[in-house]
Each structure stands twice: as structure tokens, then as C-alpha cells.
């Protein structure tokens, strides 16, 4: 077996469009594949992974890969799935749908801010930025950042981030 007959984990990660090396390791665990050389798989092993990838793309489940479709599972069959395998399948699903995620509509954002204000919830700087599209900033000793109909008041910390209390600003009518 020559070096050109071997496939590295990063080659396989790219081949299957996966974001993490861990996904490849999870697949190897499911398929009971051990690298022939540290971090490298043989052509035969890669072909098995190709079949597994095709199985998943076609809507197959990890638990029924390699099963004979003509054989119906016994009603007493209990399939145990390792949590890491579930994570691998969910990761692949999230990677597939991630590009289609859209930013919240303006009224959804306003509704979320209204609820946060009513409930007195504290939001991190990052959470506020995700909702309104800008990082809340204050100058000097100021503690309040105003954006539209809402004020964000510095209220301590959540972890390493500033905590912001959401307050609905009176319209003055």
C-alpha cells in the first residue's frame, strides 16, 4: 500500500463536506474502522465511508446502515445508539440547513425585546447584537444605550460579557 492509496482525516472531512474532524471519527466508530496508518484510511475503508455518506444523503439512518432492506426488524430488537453518533447525525443536518437560516423579521425582534423588558430578563452583549444588529455601547460613565423603542441598561455581567436590562422607552404621547 503506497502513500497515494491512503486518505487522511482532513481529506475525508473535505470529501464529505463536514465541518469537524470529529464527525469523521464518529463515522469511523459507527463503521468500526481503525486507521491503517495513524490518521489515514485505505481505499477500501474510504469506499465504505462513501457508501455510508450516500446512505445518509439518501435519508438513511445510522442505525440501519448495512441492514438488508428486505429483512424487517424484529419487534423485540432494541437498538442502542451512542450519543456521539446522534451528535454526528445532528451536526450533518445542521451543516446542511445552516445556509438557509434567515435573520429574524423586525416584528419578531421587537416582540422578543418586549418580552425581555416585561420579564426583566438580562441579555448578554452578544445576544443584544444578534437581536438588533449592533453591539450596545455607552460612553464614559453612561449606563444606557438607546436603540429605537428600547433602552439597554448596563446591569452587571453574565460570564465575561456585560449584562443588559431591556427597558421599553416611552413614546411620549
Model pLDDT for residues 90-148, shown as the tens digit of each residue:
777 777 766 555 555 788 888 889 999 999 999 999 999 999 999 999 999 999 999 99
Distance of CA 56 to the CA centre of its chain: 18
pLDDT tens digit string along 8-56? 998 888 888 888 888 888 889 889 999 998 889 999 999 999 998 888 8
| C-alpha torsion sign, points 14, 15, 20, 21 | negative
Please list, in sequence order, all residues whose beta carbon lies within 8 angstroms of the beta carbon of residue 39, skipping any fewer than 6 positions away.
8, 9
3-state secondary structure of 60: coil
pLDDT on residue 34: 92
Task: Render pLDDT for 43-85 as a digit per residue (tens, 0 to 9).
Answer: 999 999 999 888 888 888 877 787 655 544 444 444 445 566 6
**Nearest residue to 161 (alpha-carbon basis) of 115, 124, 129:** 124
Residue 70: its pLDDT value, please?
52
Give pLDDT, residue 73: 46
3-state secondary structure at position 136:
coil
Amino acid at each position: 500500500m503506497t502513500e497515494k492509496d491512503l486518505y487522511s482525516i482532513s481529506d475525508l472531512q473535505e470529501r464529505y463536506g463536514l465541518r469537524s474532524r470529529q464527525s469523521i471519527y464518529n463515522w469511523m466508530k459507527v463503521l468500526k474502522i481503525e486507521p491503517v496508518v495513524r490518521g489515514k484510511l485505505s481505499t477500501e475503508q474510504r469506499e465504505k465511508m462513501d457508501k455510508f455518506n450516500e446512505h445518509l444523503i439518501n435519508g438513511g439512518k445510522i442505525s440501519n446502515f448495512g441492514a438488508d432492506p428486505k429483512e424487517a426488524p424484529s419487534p423485540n430488537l432494541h437498538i442502542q445508539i451512542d450519543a456521539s453518533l446522534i451528535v454526528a447525525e445532528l451536526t450533518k443536518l445542521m451543516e446542511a440547513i445552516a445556509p438557509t437560516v434567515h435573520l429574524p423579521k423586525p416584528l419578531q425582534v421587537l416582540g422578543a425585546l418586549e418580552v425581555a423588558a416585561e420579564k426583566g430578563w438580562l441579555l448578554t452583549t452578544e445576544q443584544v447584537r444578534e437581536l438588533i444588529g449592533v453591539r450596545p455601547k455607552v460612553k464614559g460613565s453612561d449606563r444606557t444605550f438607546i436603540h429605537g423603542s428600547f433602552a439597554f441598561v448596563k446591569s452587571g455581567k453574565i460570564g465575561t460579557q456585560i449584562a443588559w436590562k431591556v427597558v421599553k422607552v416611552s413614546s411620549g404621547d
